[in-house]
Amino acid sequence: MNSKKFLIAFDADDTLWVNEAFYNEAEQKLESLVGPYLKTSLLKEQLYEMETRNLSIFGYGVKGFILSMIETAIEITSEQIKGSEIQQIIDVGKDMLTQPIKLLLEVQETILHLENEYDLMIITKGDLFDQESKIARSGIADHFRFIEIVSEKNEEVYLNILKKNEIDSNRFMMVGNSLKSDILPVVNIGAHAVHIPADTTWQHEQISDFEKAKMQYHELTSMGQLPALLDQVFRNNQNREK
Amino acid sequence: MNSKKFLIAFDADDTLWVNEAFYNEAEQKLESLVGPYLKTSLLKEQLYEMETRNLSIFGYGVKGFILSMIETAIEITSEQIKGSEIQQIIDVGKDMLTQPIKLLLEVQETILHLENEYDLMIITKGDLFDQESKIARSGIADHFRFIEIVSEKNEEVYLNILKKNEIDSNRFMMVGNSLKSDILPVVNIGAHAVHIPADTTWQHEQISDFEKAKMQYHELTSMGQLPALLDQVFRNNQNREK
């Protein structure tokens, strides 16, 4: 990479824009659809169990989530769910795929502030088509020099991205809401990681307190704090090179 | 790109391995499921119409196809389809996503023959997760220097790939079964294109005879003919450089 000195990569869902809240909303709509069939209220647990079971076949993203919702609805209603209700589940999913992008607080200003000094990147996982569509609809795509949509975020994937962009790990920083996907593998390859927790995070993206305690990473409460942190982290490197 | 002289890119589905046949098989299974509900046999047309309608929401790939099969089944049976039958449709889709990869005739030998002389690449469109999984299961992934999974194959996408790999269009050749995705946009950016028709090609990937007649591209009946064609096409360039 032959331009700026540092590469700052952002996760997209629940880091740049709202995402998990729409999954939770969909779950509530599913609950009201299948509710009349149920004696117990184990829907949430069964849906998560189904999503986990299907992950190796469908991967991440809304389309797999819709299919898991349908399968859960069939299973939990002992196949009594009606065709019209399944159509409603699909429509809930289509709404998720087409709704306007809601940028999170301070995202726009922070990106504008940083783009002159740093190379900015998006690294997001999920459906290729859905993620591309969200990035296009976000209105901030042009501020990112690189965009990577990957099927999984692990050490190997991050190492490949660094290699492809010819950047050392100590010049790379990942910013995201998921300790499991955005922080843990990045810390493990010796790069910088900044955790900005989201209001709600999918169960699948959580890690144990034990793992948390071992890791060296930065924690911020809002995106607006990022520029100051960057100054602090990268100032040393810059001075050394002068 | 600083290695070999020419970049030969292959489409994957129905160029390297069987794909459309599995969609057709799934369609037949759907037909036998909804058949008892139907007076007419317009399933094929309605499914295609649904797929086309959903393309801008779901993109290409099996997961979107499963959802379109379910929606078609609900619509065509006037919502009478049962939960257990919808589960069977999902299972048909899961089989598509997990079945073994069947390489097409002469693919393996041709790839092995070409890899020493040319840089080989896969350019495929569809679900990121599904395509990665198929490439991994194909057993031939290691022979390709570059792999690109894209959500659409148009001139802009091909130009970006050439730019990223720093290769001139006259040193790039695309090999594929779809005139619409593998040939037309490639010819339009001044690169070489080789059409190897598949036994069956999805309606969506077909183009008019008028468009066909305008294009300059190579047509082969089997993959085994590719090495000889490459010798012929690129010999001139190579001699000129000696």
CB–CB of A9/A175 below 8 Å?
yes
- Bridge pairing between strands A7-10 and B218-219: unpaired
Residue written as token pair 């309605």? B46
- Bridge pairing between strands B172-176 and B192-195: parallel
SS3 A52: helix
Tokens, residue A156:
């190997």
Over residues A177-200, mean pLDDT: 95
Radius of gyration of chain A (CA): 20
Tokens, residue B115:
């890899």
Comparing alpha-carbon positions, the chain A residue that sits nearest to B68 is A90
Answer yes or no: is pLDDT of A3 > 80. Answer: no
Chain B residues with CB-CB distance to A79 below 8 A: 82-84, 87
Q: What integer best gives the mean pLDDT of chain A?
A: 92
Least Cα distance to A99 among A33, A19, A12, A199 occurs for: A19
Chain B residues with CB-CB distance to A66 below 8 A: 67
CB–CB of A226/A114 below 8 Å?
yes
Q: Which residue has the higher pLDDT, B162 or A204?
A: B162
Tokens, residue B65:
């196809």
CB–CB of A198/A14 below 8 Å?
yes
Distance from CA of B189 to the nearest CA of A (A): 23
Over residues B65-76, mean pLDDT: 97
Distance from CA of B161 to the nearest CA of A (A): 14
Tokens, residue A220:
């911020």
CB–CB of A229/A218 below 8 Å?
yes
Chain A residues with CB-CB distance to B132 below 8 A: 151
Answer yes or no: is pLDDT of A235 > 80. Answer: no
Tokens, residue B83:
């939960």
Distance from CA of B136 to the nearest CA of A (A): 13
Answer yes or no: is pLDDT of A199 > 80. Answer: yes
Tokens, residue A88:
């409603």
> Residue B206: which pLDDT band, with cuts at 50, 70 and 90?
confident
Nearest beta carbon to residue A86 from set B57, B58, B86: B86
Task: For residue range A15-36, list pLDDT tens digits in order.
Answer: 999 999 999 999 999 999 998 8
Chains A–B, number of C-beta pairs less than 8 Å apart: 94
Using CB atoms within 10 A of its CB, is residue A154 exposed (0-12), middle (13-18) or buried (19+)? middle
> What DSSP element (H or E) covers B90?
helix B83-98
Mutate to test the interface with B, among A70, A82, A129 (most CBs of B within 10 A): A129
Answer yes or no: is pLDDT of A239 > 70. Answer: no
Torsion angle of C-alpha atoms B195, B199, B204, B208, degrees rounded to 10 = 60
Tallying the residues shown for chain B, one arrives at 242
Residue ranges with strand state E in B4-118: 7-10
Q: Which amino acid is at A15?
A: T
Q: Which domains does chain A have, with CATH numbers?
A: 7-17+102-241 (3.40.50.1000), 20-98 (1.10.150.240)
Q: What integer best gives the mean pLDDT of chain B?
A: 92
Over residues B109-116, mean pLDDT: 96
Residue B151's region, left for phi above 0, alpha for psi from -120 to 50, else beta, is alpha
* Lowest pLDDT segment from A66-70, A148-152, A233-237: A233-237
- Bridge pairing between strands A146-150 and B7-10: unpaired
Over residues A123-143, mean pLDDT: 95
Answer yes or no: is pLDDT of A112 > 60. Answer: yes
pLDDT at B236: 62
> Residue B242: which pLDDT band, with cuts at 50, 70 and 90?
very low
Q: How far apart are CA A109 and CA B144, in angstroms?
A: 42
Q: How far apart are CA B11 and CA A55, in angstroms?
A: 26
Give the count of beta carbons closer than 10 Å to the beta carbon of residue B136: 10
Inter-chain touch A81–B81, beta carbons under 8 Å: no
pLDDT at A31: 93
Residue written as token pair 């890791």? A215
Answer yes or no: is pLDDT of A40 > 80. Answer: no
Q: At what angle do helices A43-58 and A62-76 cross, to 10 degrees?
A: 130
pLDDT at B75: 95
Answer yes or no: is pLDDT of A207 > 90. Answer: no
pLDDT at A242: 44
Distance from the first to the final alpha carbon of chain A? 19
Chain A residues with CB under 8 Å of a chain B CB are 57-61, 63-64, 66-67, 70-71, 73-74, 77, 79-84, 86-87, 90, 93-94, 97-98, 127-130, 132, 149-151
Least Cα distance to B97 among A156, A63, A125, A150 occurs for: A63
CB–CB of A120/A145 below 8 Å?
yes
Nearest beta carbon to residue A58 from set B63, B86, B151: B63
Q: Which residue has the higher pLDDT, B214 or B53?
A: B53
Q: How far apart are CA A51 and CA A60, in angstroms?
A: 9
Alpha carbon distances (Å) from B222 to B18, B120, B177, B182, B219: 14, 18, 11, 16, 9
Tokens, residue B180:
């619409």
Tokens, residue B37:
């509900």
Least Cα distance to A84 among B172, B9, B75 occurs for: B75
Distance from CA of A239 to the nearest CA of B (A): 32
Nearest beta carbon to residue B74 from set A86, A97, A151: A86
CB–CB of A150/A158 below 8 Å?
no
Alpha carbon distances (Å) from A182 to A104, A239, B80: 17, 28, 45
Q: How far apart are CA A84 and CA B81, in angstroms?
A: 9
pLDDT above 70 covers a percentage of chain A that reads: 95
Mutate to test the interface with B, among A86, A128, A147 (most CBs of B within 10 A): A128
Distance from CA of B98 to the nearest CA of A (A): 7
Q: Which residue has the higher pLDDT, B226 or A3?
A: B226
Tokens, residue A47:
């849906």
pLDDT at B237: 61
Nearest beta carbon to residue B94 from set A57, A77, A128: A57
Inter-chain touch A57–B90, beta carbons under 8 Å: no
Over residues B106-134, mean pLDDT: 95
Q: How far apart are CA B227 and CA B194, in angstroms?
A: 12
Inter-chain touch B149–A128, beta carbons under 8 Å: yes
* Lowest pLDDT segment from A70-79, B40-49, B209-218: B209-218
Mutate to test the interface with A, among B99, B129, B160 (most CBs of A within 10 A): B129
Nearest beta carbon to residue B87 from set A71, A97, A132: A71
Chain A residues with CB-CB distance to B84 below 8 A: 74, 79
